[in-house]
Amino acid sequence: MGLLGATAIEDKLQDGVPETIATLIKANINMWVLTGDKQETAVNIGYSCNMLSDDMNEVFVIDAKETRNKMKPGSLLGTDPVTDLLTRTEMKTFIVPKEVANGSYGLVIDGHSLAHALEENVELELLRTACMCKSVICCRVTPLQKAQVVELVKKYKHVATLAIGDGANDVNMIKAAHIGVGISGQEGMQAMLASDFSFAQFQFLKRLLLVHGRWSYIRMCKFLRYFFYKNFAFTLVHFWYGFFSGFSAQTVYDEWFIAFYNLIYTSLPVLAMSLFDQDVNDLWSLRFPELYEPGQCNLYFNKKEFVKCILYGIYSSLVLFFITYGSTYNSVQSNGKDISDYQSFALIVQTSLLVLVTVQMGLETAYWTAVNQFFIWSSLTLYFSLMFLLYSDGLCLLFPHTFKFMGTARNTLILPQVWLTILLTVALCALPVIVYKFLRMEFQPTKVEKIRWYPRSPFYLRASSRRSAYAFAHQQGFGALITSGKNVKSRAPFGFGDNYSFHT
């Protein structure tokens, strides 16, 4: 038989895959590979993309062929080696003790062995063993088994899972995960149509997680903290006011302020923060993958942070009410008019509250843009504009039952002691936050704060980097000849002609 021709197919990794996986591993993200390729190909892929390395203590390989050979009659091991690996403690070679599980192990298991390991009596042991390994590769698996592995992690670990694939056989896995990512490639568009996010190359996953995913988590946590705080401070003032009003259901604020507080006055600044805020820029987020870990530990919004919001809201409401109450108690103007009435008190409290939550928004914002500035100043401007409009004499005369605060803004805000009360109230409420942030940054800074103060390379002006135009040598040069003005070419020796070449 003669060989007429041969064809070889090379399955190459996309650009940036090893670097992306290495970066995600540094971010404390567990990477598992679920592939339909055979074992040798899967292991080679593991080494090429840095999931497996020679520095590992051991790479456990569970092969179905070896399993069938050991289960033949006359074999020393008459039971299923997969079950033995996961349940028997006598096999010291394959058991990874918890005290030495330092992430330097790898696990490679094929589809037939995985089918036994996914049985109900041993699936938990499979997950425990796999989680003690640095890398897990499942080869020769079916689309159903890919989805079963994802469901297994979701069932016992209670963590967020992400599945990424580029073919129709990855659709079940993508749908089973919390977040599905599809890659457009040569295997069709099925994975992209079934995914939550889609892009062209695997390396874009790094930016999706470490930049946009982390920013989205931080923005959402800041939004929730600010939302709970501003509403606790807003609501609890009514509680303290009830002790002085005999719990008569009288509101401490004007009814129009209550209607516009969340709808207009405080909605735009928090919207801008939720869209544009970032603790560090994208380059530093990619350079320091460990910044992703606080989000995995849910450090930015948890029960502790929620309790902080409640306590800070209680403190702010106490200051807002009692400072204003003390400053207006039995107070009169220079002309003898009383300013300790209910309407003046309500106006001072609601103005102090709005200025306070705006200052708190500024303290929470880490990245300022023109949109943030515009929304914050627009909210304050809109508040004072609507206040003077709603408290004007014209509206109060036309609709006396709807607009009851006639002339209150004009008569109250012209007093210096009112603005001093607002300033004192805002300062007392914001001072604990400023002191806490300062002490934490000085004595127990977070990873983000350390990186934000990471020393940058100094910036030099272009003029300071000019060359001096001086050259130094150990031998005598031709300076005198050059400055003499003589023609060197005309004095060239006979026979050399124009064959000189000068190298500088």
Query: In the prediction, which pLDDT does 122 show?
Result: 87
Which candidate, 392, 391, 189, 214, places its Cα nearest to that of 286?
214
- What is the mean predicted confidence (pLDDT) over 178-187? 85
Q: Note whether 229 and 123 are same-domain residues.
A: no
Q: Note whether 123 and 215 are same-domain residues.
A: no
Structure tokens at 14: 């996309």
Of 139, 159, 179, which residue is a domain's last? 159
Q: Are 113 and 67 in contact (CB under 8 A)?
A: yes
Query: In the prediction, which pLDDT does 469 show?
Result: 52
Q: Does residue 345 fall inside a structural domain?
A: yes
Measured CA to CA in angstroms, residue 491 lies from 176, 478, 484, 486 at distances of: 86, 15, 14, 9
Q: Note whether 98 and 246 are same-domain residues.
A: no
35 labelled ligand-binding = yes
Query: What range does the domain containing 405 cover?
Result: 210-451
- The structure tokens 């970032």 sit at 278
For residue 211, pLDDT beyond 60:
yes
For residue 464, pLDDT beyond 60:
no
- In terms of DSSP H, where are the helices of 197-263? 204-207, 214-245, 255-260
Q: Does residue 463 fall inside a structural domain?
A: no
Q: Are 317 and 429 in contact (CB under 8 A)?
A: no
Q: Does residue 214 fall inside a structural domain?
A: yes
Q: Note whether 378 and 285 are same-domain residues.
A: yes
Write the CATH number for 122.
Answer: 3.40.50
Q: Quote the number of domains for the chain.
A: 2
170 labelled ligand-binding = yes
11 labelled ligand-binding = no
93 labelled ligand-binding = no
| Alpha-carbon torsion (438, 439, 443, 448), positive or negative | negative
For residue 95, pLDDT beyond 60:
no
How many other CB atoms are there within 10 angstroms of residue 141's CB atom?
Answer: 26
- The structure tokens 């129709």 sit at 168
338 labelled ligand-binding = no
Query: In the prediction, which pLDDT does 493 show?
Result: 47
Tell me the pLDDT tens digit for each residue of 319-372. 999 999 988 877 666 666 666 688 888 899 999 999 999 999 999 999 999 999
Q: Note whether 372 and 231 are same-domain residues.
A: yes
Q: At what angle do helices 214-245 and 303-328 cross, to 10 degrees?
A: 40
146 labelled ligand-binding = yes
For residue 204, pLDDT beyond 80:
yes
Burial class (CB in 10 A: 0-12, 13-18, 19+), 263: exposed
For residue 80, pLDDT beyond 60:
no
Compute the mean pLDDT over every residue in the chain, rounded to the nearest whole number: 81
Q: Does residue 328 fall inside a structural domain?
A: yes
For residue 77, pLDDT beyond 60:
no
Which candidate, 301, 291, 285, 294, places its Cα nearest to that of 220?
301
Of 159, 175, 191, which residue is a domain's last? 159
Q: Note whether 111 and 224 are same-domain residues.
A: no
Query: In the prediction, which pLDDT does 383 show?
Result: 93
Q: Does residue 195 fall inside a structural domain?
A: no
Radius of gyration for the alpha carbons in the chain, expressed in angstroms and rounded: 36
More confident residue, 77 or 14: 14
Q: Note whether 146 and 281 are same-domain residues.
A: no
Q: Does residue 339 fall inside a structural domain?
A: yes
Of 424, 451, 478, which residue is a domain's last? 451
- What is the mean predicted confidence (pLDDT) over 275-288? 92
Query: In the prediction, which pLDDT does 416 show?
Result: 87
Q: Note whether 300 and 152 are same-domain residues.
A: no
- The span from the CA of 408 to the CA of 424, in Å, is 21
For residue 496, pLDDT beyond 50:
no
| pTM for the structure as a whole | 0.78
Q: Note whether 273 and 351 are same-domain residues.
A: yes
Q: At what angle do helices 370-390 and 342-364 cross, to 10 degrees?
A: 180
User: In the chain, what percentage of residues exceed pLDDT 70?
Assistant: 78
Hey, which of 14-28, 138-152, 237-251 has the most confident mean pLDDT?
A: 138-152
pLDDT-derived band of residue 300, with 50, 70 and 90 as boundaries? Answer: very high
pLDDT-derived band of residue 458, with 50, 70 and 90 as boundaries? Answer: low
121 labelled ligand-binding = no
- What is the mean predicted confidence (pLDDT) over 310-325? 95
Q: Are 104 and 54 in contact (CB under 8 A)?
A: no
For residue 152, pLDDT beyond 70:
yes
Query: In the prediction, which pLDDT does 68 show?
Result: 46
Q: Does residue 458 fall inside a structural domain?
A: no
- What is the mean predicted confidence (pLDDT) over 219-238? 94
The four Cα atoms 106, 109, 115, 119 give a dihedral, to 10 degrees, of -20
pLDDT-derived band of residue 392, with 50, 70 and 90 as boundaries? Answer: confident
For residue 290, pLDDT beyond 70:
yes
Q: Does residue 466 fall inside a structural domain?
A: no
Query: In the prediction, which pLDDT does 336 show?
Result: 60
Q: Note whether 97 and 242 are same-domain residues.
A: no
pLDDT-derived band of residue 60, with 50, 70 and 90 as boundaries? Answer: confident
- What is the mean predicted confidence (pLDDT) over 80-96? 45
- The span from the CA of 38 to the CA of 137, in Å, is 11
Q: Note whether 236 and 104 are same-domain residues.
A: no
The four Cα atoms 426, 432, 438, 440 give a dihedral, to 10 degrees, of -150
Q: Note whether 278 and 427 are same-domain residues.
A: yes
Which range, of 9-13, 70-74, 319-323, averages the lowest pLDDT? 70-74
